[in-house]
Every structure is written in structure tokens, then in C-alpha cells.
Amino acid sequence: MKKKTNVGLKIISINRKASFNYFFESVYEAGIVLKGSEIKSIRLGKINIADSYAIERRGEIYLMNSHIPLYKNASYSNHNPTDDRKLLLNKREINKLIGKINREGFTIIPTKIYFKKGKAKIEIAVAKGKKQYDKRQAKKNKDWQRDKARYVRKTS
């Protein structure tokens, strides 16, 4: 039987620092409101979400601190690279997110941006920050997995 793959899913940017700095509780997929020059810049693969986060403002979720560089072929209608961008979610999902981030220590972090059937989507996660000793343990496990793979490869 042929294995199904996600046809039409093109990953643009992954936030690698997020999984190192946070524990993820739940993950959501959201649309994102973009201007024409922003979407063209994203299609070129130029977006930085490493230091981004999402907040609740007036009952809506906004992506803060993401950087989409200027599109050089756009003239007067170019965008501000560090604008706040509205995320498109259902009211029920927004209420769940607001309830989760009002608890102690939780925040909303973008994990990746991708195109799904031609539409820009962002994957966000409700996350809790890791302590320093958690990060050390995660690094130790990652190093052990790498060494274990080397040992297995050498013995076979």
C-alpha cells in the first residue's frame, strides 16, 4: 500500500530554538493575515520567527516580533518588516488559547510557517519555558542518541 504524504505542504521556516527553550502542551494551525508584498517575500523564503510570540489583543491573537524583510520589487506599497500580524483562528480556538495563556508560565510560540494548498499557514504551540537544567538534560539526551547511532553504524 502506498504511503500518503502531505501533498501541497511546503515548509518555509522552522523555529528550531522553540523546541529547545519550551515544552509544548498543544499545537494549533492558523492562517495569517498578510499584505501582498509580505506574501511575496515569504514565497522567496525570507522570514524569521525565531524570537516571535503571540499575544491576545481585543479577543484576537496577534503574532508579534516576526520579521519579514521588504520585498525589493514592491514600490510604494511595501510593508513594515516588524508589523504585528493577525492570526486567523476559530472563536472556540481563540477562547481555548486565551484560557491556556492566562495560566502561570504559558505562552504562544510559532513553531513553523508553511504553505498548504497555496495558503500561508503558521503552526503555533502553547508552551511553557524550560529551566536551565531541563535544557542540559535535553542536550545530554540528544548527544546520547547521536553517539548511539554512531556505535550502531560502526558495529554493522
Burial of 92 (C-beta count, 10 Å sphere; 0-12/13-18/19+):
exposed
Q: Is the pLDDT of residue 2 over 70?
A: no
Q: Greater confidence, 132 or 84?
A: 84
* β-sheet bridge partners, residue 48: 67
Q: Which fold has domain 9-130?
A: Small Protein B; Chain: A; (2.40.280)
Which residue pairs from 134-139 have beta carbons closer than 8 angstroms and sit at least 24 positions apart in sequence? 134/23, 135/20, 135/21, 138/20
**Predicted TM-score (pTM) of this structure:** 0.76
Spell out the domain ranges in the chain.
9-130
Residue 4's pLDDT band, with cuts at 50, 70 and 90, is low
pLDDT tens-digit readout, 53-88: 898 889 899 999 888 888 887 777 787 777 888 999
Q: Pick the closest to residue 45 from 17, 13, 8 (CA basis).
A: 13
Note the pLDDT tens digit of each residue in 44-62: 888 888 888 898 889 899 9
Distance CA 72, CA 149 (A): 45
- pLDDT grade for 110, boundaries at 50, 70 and 90: very high
Phi–psi pair at 155, nearest 5 degrees: -80, -25
